[in-house]
Chains A and B, each alone.
Chain A
């Protein structure tokens, strides 16, 4: 049963703490993406990766970092430099990147204590 999984569903971060959100896909997709959704807003691109060991900044990359060591995995770290991390985080993937459908995971809600 192919799909995208994200964990955890809810995550709490303390001040000054780095936290990592997990994203795994078994769709054999090359491209993976991280988006952030805030209330009343559309999805904004944080980072994307077209291939293993390569990734590019999106529109709001400041305070975030990623890695792509395996095709199936694209974890996102929210660092202490991200001053407003409370949001709903969505991971997506697509075959090659570009003008094609992106498929989304169920999301992780990050809250700051």
Chain B
């Protein structure tokens, strides 16, 4: 049972435009969410987080939106740059545990 889903395996965006990566979850006990960027054969790099008590968090070009009623979060990257080309993972923390559940990732390709 995949509790955290990234339904788009890949996404292509033109340089300078907005990239929107989506993540859906099923468990209402998730209370904290993380987004990571990962290059091949490297460890994930933390990008941005959001607590379930918020609906938006912003850090430079990266903004994460959380819609609790829809159990949906999204990562916006504006403007997109070729260096943003990577696989992006969302991860959800289950309240009262030490566990994060990771999505399967979305491969973003930013075209120059």
Contact = CB atoms under 8 A, between A and B. Distances in A.
A46 B10 CA distance: 27
Interface in A17-37: 31, 33, 35
A102 B49 CA distance: 11
B43 A102 contact: no
A105 B41 CA distance: 11
A104 interface: yes
Contact of A98 (B91, B98, B102, B104): B98
Nearest to A106: B43
A92 B98 CA distance: 12
Secondary structure of the A contact surface, majority rule: strand
A56 B100 CA distance: 14
A104 B31 contact: no
Interface in B12-53: 31-32, 34, 36, 41-46, 49, 51
B46 A101 contact: yes
Contacts of A16: none
Nearest to A102: B100
Given A42-B102, A45-B99, A99-B95, A90 B31 contact: no
B102 A43 contact: yes
A33 B41 CA distance: 18
B104 A41 contact: yes
Given A41-B104, A42-B4, A99-B93, A104 B98 contact: no
Interface of B: 4, 9, 31-32, 34, 36, 41-46, 49, 51, 89, 91, 93, 95, 97-105
25 contacts: A35-B102, A40-B104, A42-B89, A42-B101, A42-B105, A44-B102, A45-B100, A48-B98, A48-B99, A50-B98, A88-B41, A98-B93, A98-B97, A99-B32, A99-B95, A100-B32, A101-B34, A101-B46, A101-B49, A102-B34, A102-B46, A102-B91, A105-B43, A107-B41, A107-B43
